[in-house]
Amino acid sequence: MDKRILLYIIAGILILGLILFTLFPGMIYAIKDSGITGNNAADKCDPQPGYTEESWREHMSHHPSIYKECLS
């Protein structure tokens, strides 16, 4: 396989990832809070930067499958 083709594929994947994270910035929190990264429940129940306690509870209520430990 030509090295240029491999370089184009890698660059394309990186650009696509950057575009997705730009268009959907909440994906970063969704991935982090889903448990895939190994964060514990106490960390994801605490308000994230830029949220008040009330607005974070409202946010969590929109995602009950991710925040079920926090909402009970």
Q: pLDDT (tens digit, 9 = 90+) per residue, 14-46?
A: 999 999 888 887 777 777 666 655 555 557 788
Which of 15, 69, 18, 9 shows the shortest CA–CA distance to 39? Answer: 69
- DSSP letter assigned to residue 66: T
Residue ranges of the domains in the chain? Answer: 25-72
Helix then strand count (H, E) for the chain reads: 5, 0
> Are 45 and 70 spatial neighbours (Cβ–Cβ below 8 Å)?
yes
pTM, two decimal places: 0.44
Give the mean pLDDT of 2-14: 94
Q: CB under 8 Å to 6, separation ≥6 — which residues?
A: none
